[in-house]
Structure 1
């Protein structure tokens, strides 16, 4: 597991901007019912339209949606200004509730962030049928990092 985390950090720059970064938190998204509106704090990977990741500070939910019916996994990579960082991944396939609209899907990772701190997110994808998605070099199509948002 430690080797996987090291590989993930080194190969796709999953390091936190904080000087004393903690270990990468890796979570698989679970069902939350309906997502928040895309008007929340979101990072969209627009071309190719592969994934969306959102942060809802009301509940500290990292939400992830798969925008393509291509058997790839979607993930939201996040980092805080106090050194926490992680990836929230959905393996549930294409989320029709997200694609083509600003509505959102139904998968999220419930995290507990320190109040008053800041978070950034970005969205990407990995071909889980062909690669081990717990290795960072297998992820691609990352969106740009979002602006910082206060938790």
Structure 2
């Protein structure tokens, strides 16, 4: 797959498109969240349509009119970014993240500490850990790293991330 040609980022078309986004989510989670049990994945999937997707402004990445990834923003917070497992490593996630940063230079995000690929992805784009929570937003035992983009001071210390 070549995403340099034919990648389109667009607003989500609404609830009718959500089932496709849930399929992308599940593909991405199964490829990257090996710390989750199948029951955990089912738990989170059961909340996608009712709780998670309605709470964010969704951007869909598509190739040849087929959704392959999506991101969700709530203000300046990137609440979700998922790429179908067959499209990982082709620049789709980078395009979604760049779009979010373009619209929100003060972008913040949360990422599962147990997902080192995602942590590394965000660090590659200049995000640093601002704080850590021992549990996720549902109170489950999955540590979350809260990240923000760093302005690095002369001594190499992140500044402006209080």
Question: TM over 0.5: same fold?
Answer: no
Q: Comparing both structures, which one devotes a greater share of its residues to strand?
A: 1
**Higher Cα Rg, which structure:** 2
The two structures have a TM-score, normalised by structure 2, of 0.27
Relative contact order, higher structure (CA 8 A, sep 6+) = 1
Q: Comparing both structures, which one devotes a greater share of its residues to helix?
A: 2
The two structures have a TM-score, normalised by structure 1, of 0.29
